[in-house]
């Protein structure tokens, strides 16, 4: 075991306990998932993580000290994870995986809760639904790509998780008031004007 309390290497016995949701191991170790930042009891009914993403701790305190949050479903600390912290887990996951297919069911599996409760809690804390947040994240990223790259519209849509080009264009216009092409033209023109003005100021020593 290292200084943080983490077991250096997961044993096959521990891995099988996680896969089988074996409650007999609940007081023997806890496991955390690096990709979600959540830690659980071995008996947790949430979807099993990829083995390479799992870390083993001998107690909940060590997992907390390493920056992991307790699972909302199995409550490894015996306490309920505050709604704001749970939503922070969701938004952090969306921010990293917005370009992938994301459904309420996917988020519920990753964030260890039911789709209904996840949807209701997210909207209560954020004021918008998870779907709205995902859409906005994709549009914000697409906006950045339109201005900073020369990728075509279809490629940008694909890159941000909106592979249907016509739907991407429709959604982009709904969110920004402009088509992707018009948005690119206006913002690149604005950047050019700012750059020319800066050069003129530098040239004249103003």
Residue 110: per-residue pLDDT = 83
Which string of b and e fits 60-86 if b means at least 16 CB within 10 Å? bebbbeeebbbbbbbbbbeeebeeeeb
The pTM score is 0.68
**Domain housing 194:** 84-204
Residue 191: per-residue pLDDT = 60
Clarify whether residues 47 and 73 are in a common domain.
yes
Q: What is the 3-state secondary structure (H, E, C) of 21-32?
A: CCHHHCCCCEEE
What's the CA dihedral at 59, 61, 67, 69 to 10 degrees?
Answer: 80
Contacts with 146 (C-beta within 8 Å, 6 or more apart), sequence order: 153, 156, 180, 183, 184, 187
Backbone angles phi, psi at 48, to 5 degrees: -65, 140
Clarify whether residues 157 and 75 are in a common domain.
no
Confidence of residue 184 (pLDDT cuts 50, 70, 90): very high
Q: DSSP 3-state assignment of 33?
A: strand
Residue 45 contacts residue 62 (beta carbons within 8 Å): no
Q: Which residues are catalytic?
A: 40
Clarify whether residues 51 and 129 are in a common domain.
no
Distance CA 45, CA 41 (A): 9
Confidence of residue 174 (pLDDT cuts 50, 70, 90): very high
Clarify whether residues 193 and 126 are in a common domain.
yes
Distance CA 15, CA 54 (A): 9
Clarify whether residues 75 and 103 are in a common domain.
no
Distance CA 130, CA 116 (A): 11
Backbone angles phi, psi at 151, to 5 degrees: -60, 145
Mean pLDDT of the chain: 86
**Of residues 96, 90, 136, the one with CA closest to residue 110:** 90
Distance CA 89, CA 48 (A): 17
- Residue 69, domain CATH: 3.40.10.10
pLDDT > 70 in the chain, percent: 88
**Of residues 42, 87, 52, 53, the one with CA closest to residue 69:** 87
Clarify whether residues 96 and 198 are in a common domain.
yes
Among residues 80, 101, 125, the one where a domain terminates is: 80
Q: What is the 3-state secondary structure (H, E, C) of 58-71?
A: CCHHHHHHCCCEEC
pLDDT tens digits, residue range 3-53? 344 555 789 999 999 999 999 999 899 999 998 889 999 999 888 889 999
Residue 166: per-residue pLDDT = 96
Distance CA 164, CA 14 (A): 43
Confidence of residue 179 (pLDDT cuts 50, 70, 90): very high
pLDDT greater at residue 197 or residue 61: 61
């Amino acid at each position: 075991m290292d200084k943080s309390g983490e077991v250096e290497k997961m044993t096959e016995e521990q891995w099988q306990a996680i896969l089988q949701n074996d409650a007999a191991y609940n007081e023997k170790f806890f496991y955390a998932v690096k990709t979600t930042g959540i830690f659980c009891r071995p008996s947790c009914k949430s979807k099993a993580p990829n083995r390479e993403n799992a870390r083993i701790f001998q107690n909940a305190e060590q997992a907390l000290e390493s920056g992991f949050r307790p699972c909302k479903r199995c409550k490894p600390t015996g306490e309920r994870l505050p709604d704001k912290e749970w939503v922070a887990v969701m938004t952090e996951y969306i921010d990293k995986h917005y370009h992938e297919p994301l459904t309420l069911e996917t988020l519920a599996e990753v964030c260890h809760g039911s789709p209904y409760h996840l949807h209701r809690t997210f909207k209560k804390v954020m004021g918008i639904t998870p779907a709205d947040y995902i859409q906005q994240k994709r549009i914000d990223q697409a906006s950045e790509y339109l201005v900073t790259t020369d990728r075509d519209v279809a490629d940008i849509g694909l890159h941000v998780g909106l592979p249907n080009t016509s739907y991407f264009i429709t959604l982009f216009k709904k969110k920004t008031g402009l088509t992707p092409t018009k948005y690119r033209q206006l913002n690149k023109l604005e950047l050019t004007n700012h750059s020319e003005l800066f050069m003129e100021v530098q040239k004249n020593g103003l």
